[in-house]
A and B are shown apart, each in its own frame.
Chain A
Amino acid sequence: MNEWSDDQIQKALKAAFPPAAASESRRDLWPRMLRRMNAPAARVHWLDWAVAAVAVLLCLVLPGAASLLFYFL
C-alpha cells in the first residue's frame, strides 16, 4: 500500500520541520526596531492599487470569483 497514512504524514512533517521549542533569538532586536520606527513610511505602489481595483471589480462582475479569491487569501 503506497498511500500516505495520517501518521506517515505527521512523521514526514516532523522530519521536514523539526520542533522549534528550543529556538530562541538571543539578539537584541531593539536597535532594529528603532531603525524601523525612524524609517520613512513606505508608499503603496500604483500597481498594488490597480490589482486591488481589478480584484474588487472581478468580485462585483463575477460574485463566484469572490470565494476563490478568499480561498487564496
Chain B
Amino acid sequence: MELEARFANGDLEAFETLFRQFQAPVYRWIVRIVRDPAAAEDLTVETFWRVYRAHARFRPEASFGAWARRIAINVAIDHLHRTRTDLPLPENLPGDAPPDSAIQRETREKVSRAFRQLPAKYQAAAVLALVEEEPYAEIAATLGISEGAVKTRVFRAVRLLRKKLELLGVKP
C-alpha cells in the first residue's frame, strides 16, 4: 500500500515518514507568514497535529503537500489573529533627538507593531506580496483565494497601515 493510503488508514509509521518529509516545507510556509522562528516551530507541530487528526478525511490520490500547506496557512493565520496586538503604541519620550540608527530602529518597531494590528488575513497577504515578493498567483494558491482577492487584501493592508502610521505621526 502506498504511503499516503497507509496514512489515511491511520498508520503511525506512515505519518512519521510524511512528517519527516514535510516538516521543513511546512515550517517554511509558516515562518514566512508569522515571522517568528520559535512560534513557527510550535505551529508546525500544531499543523501536523491537525493533519493527524484529519487523516481519515485525506484522499490518498490527492497531494499530501497541498493539503498540508492549506492547513499550515490556516494555522499561521489563526496565530496572527490570536496574537494581533490592539495596544496603543507608546508616546515618544522627551529628550534629545536620538542618532539616525535609533530613529530607524524606532520607526521599524512602530511599523512592525502597526502592521501587527491589521486583520490577520491582510497581514498574511501583504507579507507574502510585499516582503517575500511572491507572485500574486502563487499567493492566491497558497491562501486558497483568487488573485483578485489577494490584490484587494494587499491594497487594503497598505491603506490601513498608511492610516495607522499617519495617525501615529510616523514619517517616511
Which A residues contact B (CB, under 8 angstroms)? Answer: 2-6, 8-10, 12-21, 23-25, 27, 29-30, 32-33, 36-37, 71-73
Contacts and interface: CB of A to CB of B under 8 A. Distances in A.
B59 interface: no
B32 interface: yes
A9 B45 contact: no
A40 B158 CA distance: 43
B27 A25 contact: yes
Nearest to B113: A16
A17 B35 contact: yes
Interface SS, B side: helix
A23 B107 contact: no
B165 interface: yes
Chain B interface bracket (under 10, 10 to 19, 20 to 34, 35 or more): 35 or more
A15 B115 CA distance: 12
Contacts of B107: 12, 15
A23 B81 CA distance: 22
Contacts of A73: 81
Given A4-B166, A12-B111, A73-B81, A19 B45 contact: no
Given A2-B171, A4-B162, A12-B107, A24 B45 contact: no
B148 interface: no
Interface of B: 16, 19-20, 23-24, 27-28, 31-32, 35, 37, 40-41, 44-46, 48-49, 52, 81, 104, 107-109, 111-112, 115, 119, 126-127, 130-133, 158, 161-162, 165-166, 171-172
Given A3-B166, A25-B37, A36-B45, A13 B126 contact: yes
A55 B114 CA distance: 27
The 9 nearest A-B residue pairs measured at CB: A16-B112, A8-B172, A16-B111, A25-B27, A12-B111, A16-B108, A10-B130, A4-B162, A20-B32
Given A2-B172, A9-B162, A15 B111 contact: yes
A71 to B, nearest CB: 7
Contact of A13 (B40, B45, B48, B131): B131
A33 B44 CA distance: 9
